[in-house]
Structure 1
């Protein structure tokens, strides 16, 4: 153990005494932060769509006054979209955009309650998908939602105000299912998307509207087209309504809610955390490569490596100590830089349109953000150690630096301008696959998953260090 401690202490003394070390670490921080500012300030997003959607397939009856309780069970719901909606709806007539209160179940996001496209509540507990019982209790403009798994024990969702509901409102059940963005990679860095309608379907039973008047009617509440908008590529079919005894079956397309509510206006395929770190970390890798190579080739150039091996004959231990000291140093500095880059990028991103409700507002304490920030520092540390290993194998500065630059910098640039296949191979099977650790959401142009990509980089480091140790201990013995 004492030999290991002496080796670590010796390598730390050498690393911090080399003139190029502080310069490389300062360059790491400078390049990382400068590129972060340039990238974040140069990215912009603007939204030109509607602030609210109100398009549903609505089976309804007219209520008698502004007091009442309305109950139905969503017995089954088609998983046409994670944000497809089926449930109870109280509405001022059947025109799109009129005042409403709704309680609904979704295939992918549980039970939600909304009012007027401005307010939203989320049900807790385990009542998250069909079959589920829903209940709305109206008291004037205030509407309270309840949810139950068995129709006996009810859980209160909350109370919302639909200020425009008349006494004689329309009460019923509804179905809607939003468009799905079908994405396609048209180039290494190009992704196109076109909207494709989806059709929701739900079966309701135990429908109980005690104070409703007249019979059941069906209306397709249609969202008005946007001004100057091009005609859609495909038009959703009209909704259908079928009633048999106590069961109602509805189909329909559209959406219900306001921006940031019920999936309306979900931001496009952009990973804000990765965006804040990616370009800066790639540029900072240049300084890290130089530091890693020079930490070992400088000793061969000056001949001091003989003194090192005389003082510590266990050459494998020396190489391991170099790797540990170099990796720990770069990780510590890289972590400071990654945290600063994340915090520095967010104000620029918000100012340039990447803000709620269209986009999440990632926090440094989010699990995904923590992994991305710490992982970025670990990526730089592993690239430094990989460069050290390449330097130990080649023992000449220029060839080792060129090889690492080509692998980590040039090859990804060439791949991103050549073909999708080459871009995917480079992004998943070379050391730059480790950059995937920054991903907080899986996008169509991601070549691999975070931990799989990071494992690829670790494998390269292990193989190169193993080869370097073999040369030190066997070939040079």
Structure 2
């Protein structure tokens, strides 16, 4: 049914400015006077908080020993958890200066790789690293810059764990050595590479603010594990990481600047050299003979992903989201069921504004409820996880705020999407089912080890479930050993881009609902 009745909104000269505000007040009054809707939103918030806290209290990590307390994760200069484990031959460097070396070989071993897992083989993993480094002491997590050759990624310059710049591709051998140079001038460190030691190419530059006057300069080698991933019979993937070790040979070592003469110091930073292989077969460390250094090491210098992320505390979001969807759908379908939509449209014939007002109200209420829930469960749940010995990957305050506000925005966008589906279907069960199938089901399929990784990633790019990317707190680093899949909490889109996909679906659905409402009341 359609109507052309003139209302006060259309005849009032102030309607253009005050009409929408009146609509908002009217829709807010409708929402708050229906007790079930308010209770439903409170239940959604409580579900998120209670399930999140239950997950946190149910997780306990034991590291053994007398104290049964796990050691704290090393933290890098930017506040991220890091792995800082390598073999290091070094000297002090006061003020400006640098180091130049020639790398003539990079070899290694991989323990028990597939397919048979029956022997130790020769090989170098892609991110094995051998090169020169300037570092603020030997404390794990201290600032550094390094130039290196790698197993399969050519020459790189990396600094402070998260920064990575690519040089020339290719490996290293006695027939094709690589020359590396790293210099310091104040807080600026510059890395170079050369194929002959005469013509040099800049690999990258790093500015390490606050670097002390005296640092450590020298040679290093490290080698992360050998990661293999295979498809499980029932879907998902199985990951295995095996111990590896790398050995590099350096010669033509020269130092510039204020460095004392004498023996080089040798350290296995981060406790390298403690595996059974290193004890009984090839120990990690440094051997010097006639100006040639053979350095053997294992581990990595990179951000660490070995720990729980703060989004572990958000295990209740899916359940809370389902409640939000039901409330949002009923906010519109209840009017159709009771025949009240005609009264609403008589009072405000501009139908697009009616749906817009409903969307603003349900989106705002949901955002506030989600903000309260996430703002409670994330900090409290994280403290509980740490108190129970769980290593929780640290994030910046801004990242934590983004996760909290992002979850609230995710719930709000989903509520608007569900409201629009309710206006389109005009039937509660159909709209609720459609919203759950569009948002919840793809997320479950993508993250529950049911689908191949590629399919899961496309689901999280193309469906409204892309919005869940907003909760990812640990970025994906290309130079870090790991299987970056949805099952591990890594989304294919950036956080705000994923939320934008969900928002786009909400706007599209709302637009279609407005078109249908203009053509037919009920």
TM value normalised by structure 1 = 0.69
C-alpha deviation, 1:173, in angstroms: 3.8
Say which is worse superposed, 268-277 or 300-309, in terms of deviation. Answer: 268-277
1:407: Cα distance to partner? 2.8
- SS of the residue corresponding to residue 157 of structure 1 reads coil
Q: Of residues 439, 450, 465 in structure 2, which corresponds to 1:408?
A: 439
Equivalent pair of 1:32/1:284 in contact (CA under 8 Å): yes
RMSD: 4.7
CA separation of 1:30/1:59 partners in 2, compared to 1, >3 Å: closer, same or farther? closer
Tell me, in whole angstroms, the C-alpha distance in 1 between the residues paired with 2:253 and 2:275.
32
Q: Is 2:468 the counterpart of 1:419?
A: no
2:340 alignment partner, one of 304, 310, 320: 304
Trace 1:259-338 onto structure 2 (pairs within 5 A): 263=301, 267-270=304-307, 272-277=309-314, 279-338=315-374
Aligned match for 1:254, one of 286, 297, 307: 297
Aligned equivalent of 2:41, options 13, 18, 25: 25
2:496 to 448, 451, 475: 451
- Contact 1:315–1:473, Cα closer than 8 Å, also in 2: yes
Give the structure 1 partner of residue 188 of structure 2.
127
Cα distance in 1 for residues equivalent to 2:260 and 2:306: 46
Return the alpha-carbon distance in structure 2 between the equivalents of residues 339 and 310 of structure 1. 41
Q: Provide the C-alpha distance between the structure 2 equivalents of 1:339 and 1:204, rounded to a whole number of angstroms.
A: 54
Matches within 5 A, 1:362-441: 362=395, 366-415=397-446, 416-420=448-452, 421-441=454-474
Q: CA deviation at 1:282?
A: 1.3
Query: Structure 2 CA distance, aligned partners of 1:309 and 1:32?
Result: 36
Residues 412, 427 of structure 1: 8 Å contact kept: yes
1:10 counterpart = 2:26: yes
Contact 1:77/1:86 (<8 A) preserved: no
How many angstroms does 1:273 deviate by? 2.1
1: CA distance between counterparts of 2:144 and 2:515?
Answer: 65
Quote the offset at 1:44 in angstroms.
4.2
Structure 2 residue aligned with 1:108, among 142, 158, 170?
Answer: 158
Q: What is the deviation of 1:59? A: 8.1
Conservation of the 8 A alpha-carbon contact between 1:57 and 1:220: yes
Check whether the contact 1:85–1:105 (CA below 8 A) recurs between aligned residues. no
CA–CA separation in structure 2 for the residues paired with 1:189 and 1:423? 10
Paired residue for 2:119?
none
Report the secondary structure of 2:491's partner residue: coil
Contact 1:178–1:253 (CA under 8 A) maintained in structure 2: no
Note the C-alpha offset of 1:155: 8.3
Give the conservation status (yes or no) of the 8 Å contact 2:310–2:393. Answer: no
Q: Secondary structure at the match of 1:179?
A: coil
> Cα offset for 1:228?
9.6
State how far apart, in whole Å, the 2-side matches of 1:336 and 1:456 are.
24
Pair 325,401 (structure 1): closer, same or farther in 2 beyond 3 Å:
same
What are structure 2's unaligned runs of at least 5 residues? 1-16, 65-69, 75-83, 107-125, 147-156, 162-183, 194-204, 477-483
CA distance in 1, matches of 2:71, 2:317: 37
CA contact (8 A) 1:389 1:465 kept: yes
Q: Distance in 1 between matches of 2:410 and 2:236?
A: 22
Equivalent of 1:192, from 239, 258, 265?
Answer: 239
- Mapped partners of 1:398, 1:230: distance in 2: 65
Q: Note the alpha carbon deviations across 1:295-340, whole angstroms, 9 max, x for none.
A: 0000000011100000000000000000011101110111011100
CA distance in structure 1 between the partners assigned to 2:228 and 2:456 by the alignment: 17
In 2, Cα distance between the equivalents of 1:129 and 1:201? 23
Give how far 1:219 is off: 8.5
Q: Aligned pairs, how many?
A: 402
Partner in structure 1 of residue 275 of structure 2 = 226
Change (3 A) 1:127 1:439: same
Inter-partner Cα distance in structure 1 for 2:54 and 2:434: 27
SS at match of 2:52: helix
Partner of 1:137: none
Mean Cα displacement is larger for which, 71-80 or 420-429?
A: 71-80
* Counterpart Cα distance in 1 of 2:449 and 2:94: 61
Q: Distance in 1 between matches of 2:296 and 2:277?
A: 22
Q: Once the 2 structures are TM-superposed, how far is the Cα of residue 46 of structure 1 from its aligned partner?
A: 4.9
User: Contact 2:236 / 2:450 at 8 angstroms: preserved in 1?
Assistant: no
